Chains A and B, each alone.
Chain A
Amino acid sequence: AQKVTQAQTEISVVEKEDVTLDCVYETRDTTYYLFWYKQPPSGELVFLIRRNSFDEQNEISGRYSWNFQKSTSSFNFTITASQVVDSAVYFCALRGITGNQFYFGTGTSLTVIP
Chain B
Amino acid sequence: DTEVTQTPKHLVMGMTNKKSLKCEQHMGHRAMYWYKQKAKKPPELMFVYSYEKLSINESVPSRFSPECPNSSLLNLHLHALQPEDSALYLCASSPPFDYKNRETQYFGPGTRLLVL
Contacts and interface: CB of A to CB of B under 8 A. Distances in A.
B64 interface: no
Interface stretch (A37-45, A59-67, A69-77): A37-45
Nearest to A96: B103
Contacts of A100: 31, 33, 48, 50, 55-56, 94
A101 B56 contact: yes
Interface stretch (B18-26, B68-76, B77-85, B107-115): B107-115
B107 A37 contact: yes
B70 to A, nearest CB: 19
B78 to A, nearest CB: 18
A43 B110 contact: yes
Contacts, number: 53
B107 A44 contact: yes
Contact of B109 (A44, A50, A106): A44
Interface of A: 33, 35, 37, 42-47, 50, 91, 95, 99-102, 104-107, 109
A91 B101 CA distance: 18
Contacts of B50: 100
- B56, B90, B105, B112: most-surrounded residue (chain A CB, <10 A): B105
A46 B48 CA distance: 19
Contacts of A99: 56
A104 B42 CA distance: 6
